[in-house]
C-alpha cells in the first residue's frame, strides 16, 4: 500500500542546527525539500560557512582516497565483508588511518615499480651476456685482462673490424675482438685486452664515437661470466622481493578492506549532511527545513525533537500547495511476500500518490498466470527447489526478486499440475496420474483451454477497468471515467452477445448485448472529444486485442507439454535406454529453463501491457529520506554496537 505523507516544516534557532542535522539524519524518515525549488519557502537558502566548505572539500578528497584503496584492494581480496563501526570512526580518525595505509601502499607500489623497471633493464643485459658468454675466449677469464663491450649495427661491422686492427696496433697486438649476432641487425662485440691499457682503449673508443654497452655500476668491472652470474642472482632476488610485496599488499587488503568499506559509508554520510545544509532556509537567527514524513512517523519525529530541544525547535504540519500535489513522494509498504512484486511494479513506474498500489494484485495474478502456463507437478517441484536454494544465496536485487516470485509461481504450477494431470509432461499419464480437470495433451481439450485463457483475460481486463474508473472518480476526471466505463460497458455487451450466441444466456440477451455495446462505444467515443467517432471504435478494438493476448496462457503451456512429450517419447530411441535417458534429461532441462524464464516474462508482460494500461499511469517520485547509509546502534552502555 501507499503510505500517507505529511508535509512538515522544522523551525529553530541557528545555534541548534549543528545538532539538528545529525539527529534528523539518524531519524532517517524525512525527505528534505530544497527551499530553492518550492514556491512557498519565504526564506533564503542557507549557505555553508567557510569551515564547512573546507571540511566538505577534505571529505571529498578523503572519499577519493578511500575509493582508490578499495579499487586496489578489491583485486587482492574478493571478500565483500564490512567491518563493524566503532566510536573512534569519526572523520579525523578515518583521515589519519587512511593516510597511514596510503603511505604504506605508495611505498610498496613505488618499490614494486622500481624492481619491475630494474628487472626489465637487467633482462636486456642478461639476454646479451647470455649470448656473448659462450663465445668468449679463455683470455677473457684472466684476472689481468679487461673487456669492453659495444653494440654495433651489422652494416657497421666492417668499420668495427678496421677499428679492431687499429686497437691491436695501439696495444701491440694484445687486443682481441669477439663478435656475435644478437638480433636481426645488431651485433655485440667484446674487446679483450690487458687491464693496464684500459685508459688508452676507452679514449680511443670515445674518439672514434663507438657506443659502449655499459653495465650497471656494480657489474661494470666484472668479467662477462661474473656479471652474468650476478645479474641472474639479482633477478632471482628481485622476483622474491616482488612476491613478498604482493603478499604484504594482500595482507594489508585483508586487514583494511572491510574497514575501508565502512569508512566509505561514513564519509558519504557526512557529505549527505553537507548537502542537507544547502537545502535548508535561513534568516539572520533561525533556520527552516521543509520536507515529507510518513504520517505514522510524525509523532516519533515530534517526540525526538521535544526530547532533545524542548520548545527551541518545532515540528509543524503544513498545507500542501497545489503545485506540489503531483510531487508528493511515494513510499510503498507491503507484506514480505509481496515485496518482490512491488519492485516489479517500480520497474514499470512508481505509482502516483493518489492511485492504488497494484503490488498485491501483481503478487496474485503474476504467479497465477505463471502456474497456468507451466502447470506441471514435476517442473513445479524442481522450480521450487531451485528457488528455495537461490533465495538462501541471493538476498537482494533483481535475481532475488525473480527467485522469490518463482517460489510462489512454482506452488501454483504444482496445483495446476494436479488439475492438468501432468508430471514432467505426459509422464504423469504413464504413472497413473489422472487430471482433476482437463488434460492439455488431449487435442479435444484445446478449445476449452483457449476459452479458459480468454475468460481469464476478460476478467483481468474488467478488473483493470473497474480500478481505472475508481481512479477517475478520485481524480475527478470525467473524461477518464467515461473512457473506462464505456470500455467496461462495451465488453459487457460483447459478453452478452457471446453468451446468447453460444446458448449460455437466453436469446433475450442478444438484443440487450447490442444495446449495451452501443452505449459503451458512445461513452468511449464521447470521452475522446471530436475525434471520438473514429478513435473510440479503434480503441475498443485494441482492447479486444488485449484480451486475445491472454491466449498465450494456453499457447505457452501447450508448447511446454508437447516438448516434454517429445522428451518422454524419445527415451527409448534406438533401443538404447542410456542414450534415450540422456536425450530425455537434456530436453527436460531445456524445457525447465524455458519454463522458468518465458512464463515469467509473459505473465509480467500481461501485467504491464494489458492490465496496467487500464488504470495505471505512475510517474511519481519515490520517497528518498535523509537517511544514513550506515547506522550505529549501541546495544549496551559499553562500546558494543551493531550495524543496521
Q: Which domains can be identified in the chain, with CATH numbers?
A: 1-46+280-329 (3.30.70.240), 129-225 (3.30.70.2750), 336-614 (no CATH)
Backbone φ, ψ for residue 8 (5° rounding)? -125, 155
Better-scored residue on pLDDT, 68 or 188: 68
CA distances from 341 to 159, 392, 538 (A): 85, 18, 32
Better-scored residue on pLDDT, 223 or 178: 178
Q: What is the mean pLDDT of the chain?
A: 86
Query: pLDDT-based confidence at 125, cuts 50/70/90?
Result: confident
431-472 pLDDT per residue, tens: 888 989 999 888 889 999 999 999 999 999 999 999 999 988
7-29 pLDDT per residue, tens: 999 999 999 999 999 999 999 99
152 grid coordinates: 654495433
Better-scored residue on pLDDT, 162 or 23: 23
Q: What is the pLDDT at residue 130?
A: 74
297 grid coordinates: 512517523
Tell me which residue has cell 586496489.
72
Query: pLDDT-based confidence at 631, cuts 50/70/90?
Result: low
Residue 635 φ/ψ region, left for φ over 0, alpha for ψ in the -120 to 50 degree band, beta for the rest: alpha
Query: pLDDT-based confidence at 634, cuts 50/70/90?
Result: very low
Q: What is the pLDDT at residue 638?
A: 35
Better-scored residue on pLDDT, 98 or 135: 98
- Indicate yes or no: pTM above 0.75: no
Find out whether 559 and 379 touch, Cβ atoms under 8 Å. no
As beta bridge partners, residue 193 has: 146
Residues 6+ apart with CB under 8 A from 349: 616, 617, 618, 619, 620
Please state the length of the chain: 644
Of 95-99, 563-567, 594-598, 616-620, the least confident: 616-620
500 grid coordinates: 446468447
Please give the sequence-ordered ranges of beta strands (E in DSSP) within 75-158, or none if there are none. 145-153
Residues 6+ apart with CB under 8 A from 568: 424, 425, 426, 427, 430, 584
Backbone φ, ψ for residue 314 (5° rounding)? -115, 150
- Note the helical H segments in 310-397: 339-348, 359-374, 377-393
Tell me which residue has cell 482492447.
543
Amino acid at each position: 500500500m501507499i503510505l500517507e505523507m505529511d508535509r512538515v516544516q522544522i523551525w529553530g534557532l541557528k545555534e541548534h542546527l549543528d545538532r539538528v542535522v545529525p539527529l534528523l539524519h539518524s531519524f532517517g524518515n524525512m525527505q528534505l525539500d530544497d527551499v530553492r525549488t518550492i514556491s512557498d519557502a519565504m526564506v533564503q537558502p542557507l549557505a555553508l560557512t567557510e569551515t564547512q566548505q573546507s571540511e566538505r572539500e577534505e571529505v571529498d578528497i578523503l572519499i577519493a582516497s578511500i575509493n582508490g584503496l578499495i579499487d586496489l584492494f578489491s583485486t587482492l581480496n574478493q571478500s565483500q565483508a564490512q567491518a563493524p563501526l566503532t566510536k573512534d570512526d569519526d572523520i579525523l580518525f578515518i583521515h589519519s588511518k587512511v593516510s597511514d595505509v596510503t603511505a604504506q601502499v605508495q611505498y610498496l607500489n613505488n618499490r614494486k615499480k622500481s624492481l619491475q623497471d630494474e628487472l626489465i633493464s637487467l633482462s636486456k643485459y642478461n639476454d646479451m651476456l647470455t649470448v656473448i658468454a659462450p663465445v668468449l675466449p679463455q683470455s677473457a677469464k684472466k684476472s689481468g685482462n679487461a673487456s669492453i663491450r659495444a653494440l654495433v649495427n651489422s652494416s657497421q661491422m666492417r668499420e668495427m673490424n678496421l677499428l679492431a686492427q687499429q686497437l691491436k696496433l695501439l696495444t701491440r697486438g694484445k687486443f682481441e675482438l669477439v663478435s656475435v649476432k644478437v638480433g636481426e641487425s645488431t651485433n655485440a662485440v667484446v674487446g679483450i685486452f690487458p687491464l693496464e691499457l684500459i685508459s688508452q682503449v676507452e679514449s680511443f673508443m670515445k674518439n672514434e664515437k663507438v657506443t659502449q654497452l655499459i653495465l650497471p655500476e656494480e657489474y661494470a668491472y666484472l668479467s662477462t661470466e661474473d656479471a652474468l652470474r650476478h645479474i641472474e642472482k639479482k633477478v632471482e632476488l628481485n622476483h622474491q622481493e616482488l612476491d613478498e610485496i604482493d603478499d604484504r599488499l594482500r595482507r594489508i587488503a585483508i586487514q583494511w578492506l572491510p574497514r575501508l568499506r565502512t569508512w566509505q559509508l561514513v564519509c558519504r554520510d557526512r557529505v549527505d549532511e553537507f548537502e542537507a545544509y544547502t537545502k535548508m532556509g535561513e534568516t539572520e537567527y533561525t533556520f527552516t527545513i521543509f520536507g515529507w514524513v510518513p504520517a505514522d512517523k510524525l509523532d516519533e519525529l515530534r517526540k525526538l525533537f521535544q526530547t532533545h530541544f524542548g520548545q527551541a525547535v518545532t515540528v509543524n504540519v503544513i498545507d500542501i500547495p497545489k503545485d506540489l500535489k503531483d510531487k508528493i513522494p511515494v513510499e510503498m509498504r507491503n507484506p514480505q511476500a509481496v515485496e518482490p512484486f512491488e519492485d516489479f511494479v517500480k520497474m514499470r513506474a512508481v505509482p502516483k500518490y493518489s492511485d492504488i498500489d497494484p503490488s498485491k494484485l501483481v503478487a496474485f495474478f503474476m504467479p497465477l498466470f505463471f502456474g497456468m502456463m507451466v502447470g506441471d507437478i514435476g517442473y513445479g517441484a524442481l522450480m521450487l527447489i531451485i528457488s528455495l536454494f537461490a533465495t538462501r544465496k541471493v538476498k537482494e536485487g533483481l535475481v532475488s526478486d525473480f527467485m522469490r516470485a518463482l517460489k510462489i509461481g512454482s506452488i501454483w504450477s504444482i496445483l495446476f499440475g494436479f488439475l492438468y494431470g501432468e508430471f514432467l509432461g505426459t509422464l504423469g499419464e504413464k504413472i497413473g496420474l489422472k487430471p482433476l480437470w482437463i488434460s492439455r495433451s488431449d487435442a479435444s481439450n484445446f478449445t476449452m483451454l483457449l476459452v479458459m485463457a480468454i475468460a481469464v483475460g476478460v476478467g483481468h481486463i474488467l478488473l483493470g477497468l473497474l480500478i481505472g474508473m475508481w481512479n477517475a472518480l478520485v481524480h475527478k476526471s470525467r473524461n477518464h471515467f467515461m473512457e473506462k466505463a464505456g470500455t467496461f460497458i462495451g465488453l459487457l455487451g460483447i459478453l452478452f452477445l457471446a453468451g446468447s450466441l453460444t446458448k449460455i444466456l437466453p436469446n433475450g440477451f442478444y438484443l440487450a448485448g447490442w444495446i449495451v455495446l452501443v452505449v459503451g462505444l458512445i461513452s468511449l467515443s464521447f470521452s475522446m472529444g471530436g475525434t471520438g467517432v473514429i478513435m473510440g471504435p479503434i480503441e475498443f478494438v485494441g482492447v479486444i486485442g488485449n484480451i486475445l493476448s491472454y491466449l498465450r496462457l494456453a499457447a505457452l503451456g501447450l508448447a511446454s507439454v508437447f516438448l516434454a512429450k517429445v522428451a518422454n517419447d524419445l527415451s527409448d530411441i534406438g533401443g538404447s535406454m542410456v542414450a534415450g535417458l540422456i536425450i530425455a534429461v537434456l530436453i527436460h532441462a531445456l524445457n525447465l529453463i524455458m519454463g522458468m524464464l518465458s512464463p515469467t516474462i509473459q505473465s509480467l508482460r500481461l501485467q504491464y501491457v494489458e492490465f496496467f494500461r487500464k488504470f495505471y499511469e505512475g510517474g511519481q517520485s519515490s520517497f528518498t529520506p535523509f537517511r544514513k547509509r550506515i547506522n550505529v546502534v549501541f546495544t549496551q552502555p559499553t562500546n558494543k554496537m551493531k550495524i543496521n
